[in-house]
Amino acid sequence: MGNRVDSKRSEFDVLVVGSGIAGLFAARKAAKFARVCLVTKGQLSDTNTWLAQGGIAAAIGEDDSPQEHLADTLAAGAGACNPEAVAILVEEGPRCIQELLELGTPFDCDDGQLALTREGAHHKSRVLHCGGDATGRLIQQTLQEQLLSCPSLTVREHIFVSDLLVRDGAVCGVRTLSGEMIYAGAVILATGGLGQVFSRTTNPAVATGDGVAMAYRAGARMADLEFVQFHPTVFQGQSELETFLISEAVRGEGAVLRNKQGKRFMDSYHPLAELGPRDVVARAILAQMKKQHGFPVWLDITHQGRAFLQKRFPTIYEQARQRGLDLAKDWLPISPAAHYAMGGIATGLNGEASLPGLFACGEVACSGVHGANRLASNSLLEGLVFADRAVSFIEKNRQPLSVSLTTVKEQHVGIGRLADAEKIRQQLRRRMFEDAGLIRDGQALTSLQSELESLAKELPAGGTHQKLWETINLLTVAQLIVSGALWRRESRGGHYRADYPNQDQAYGRNLVTAKEDELRAPIAV
């Protein structure tokens, strides 16, 4: 394959970090013209993509159009989207779907036609799905099969990337936890989300915000990290860890929300009731729970027959069954949990970050598509479209790889003992969920900011354990979220301030910051 790999140094044309839909799609496209290495911190399947249930949105129906998809996306984004980025998403999305079909992705069909369903804040049925509620897993499996058969591609699992390598202000590779330097002409971060910064989340254990943190340390600009989406319907078991996502598609198929007394309540909160924007539905559930002294609300889809539910939602049906509940007979106890980060590494229309040589796509990036509140099932599509654009940009602007070991700057962060890190990790996750979650206010955020600063001082220097690095990354991400939430003295989309409950046009711009910037001196974009 022509790739030279040793224990200290390796070189590639393109390095992809992350193995969700964005990373897999980018690596496959780049391998057509370049020597590519894909590294991931766990197994290839340890991703949010693998867990994605609902589907992937695209305007492919006869009664639909990119313009209507654009309108729904902009409305959900609450004035914080980049309309140009959204236009790219909805116009190029159908072509990416066609490419998935050509690769053999097993999208569900009805009578020989692609099955399309509707989710919250969509005004048309435009969500494709696979295996009922196994969309992400089946897309990922399809892409993995293609990837592993590619001769110009090196795939390395269980490789933890600790930081970016920077030379003369440009990114030229990464440093791994083992001390290996992997150099590349272009680095694409597709490291996924940051949900583990909150104690209650739908995200897998690997979602510790590593890409955001390493890019921030290297000096890349960040955007919109105050906008975090909480999924309204997450199973609430006897413990914090007993959770599983209940797709918005369940409400798309007619499920209703009921309070402790069994009465529907969403009609009082939004004209679309259960199909309102996620932030509205999540806060309505939280309001009901407060009235019920913390008791969860119920999700009821018992009006659908067992045969339909087993076919349409086999994963959810089985998860409920394992907990002694029958989806066709029982209401499920649910409450919100952290789900998706709209913000991340600020990128242009081709996935390019502010540092030359660095690209980002998928949830780690802030492309401007999602604004203040992601429209349901737009995330998988964004991963495809902007991975495709980033690779096309790299191909057209290829730079020769020329790196001297002596001139590379490592953004190394020393961190301390594992026991200290685990204690800090649990404390910051709990505190972030309490005071930087669904409902925020200035006083609590200010107190939390001071607490996070104190926690940062408790991490002594030294150590090479992955958990330690993940803790410092979570702490970095937490501080960025809180700083952004303090700056945004209004309520918009996934960011809600109880002390500033209304939208304020003075904040109708995005908070973009880099390590050297003052967080309260935003750059309007």
Residues taking part in catalysis = 278
Structure tokens, 8:
């200290």
What is the Cα–Cα distance from 472 to 453, expressed in whole angstroms?
12
Q: What are phi and psi of 330, to 5 degrees?
A: -110, 150
The C-alpha angle with vertex 211 and arms to 217 and 441, in degrees rounded to 5, equals 80
Please give the structure tokens belonging to residue 313: 């939602």
497: three-class secondary structure by DSSP: strand
Under DSSP, is residue 473 helix (H, G, I), strand (E, B) or coil?
Answer: helix
Whole-Å CA distances, 436 to 47, 93, 186, 247, 449: 24, 33, 35, 24, 10
Confirm if 118 and 124 have CB atoms less than 8 A apart. yes
The single residue listed with the structure tokens 């020597």 is 35
List, as one string, the DSSP characters of 294-332: TPPEEEE-TTS-HHHHHHH-HHHHHHHHHTT--TTT-PE
Pairing mode of beta strands 344-346, 56-57: unpaired
The rounded distance, in Å, linking the Cα atoms of 78 and 371 is 7
Q: What angle do CA 435, 377, 215 make, to 5 degrees?
A: 55
Q: What are the b/e assignments for 45-67, b being 16+ CB within 10 Å?
A: bbbbbbbbbbbbbbbbeeebebe
Determine contact, residues 358/164, Cβ cutoff 8 Å: yes
Q: How far is CA 41 from CA 19, 183, 238, 428, in A?
A: 9, 17, 30, 22
d(CA 86, CA 71): 9
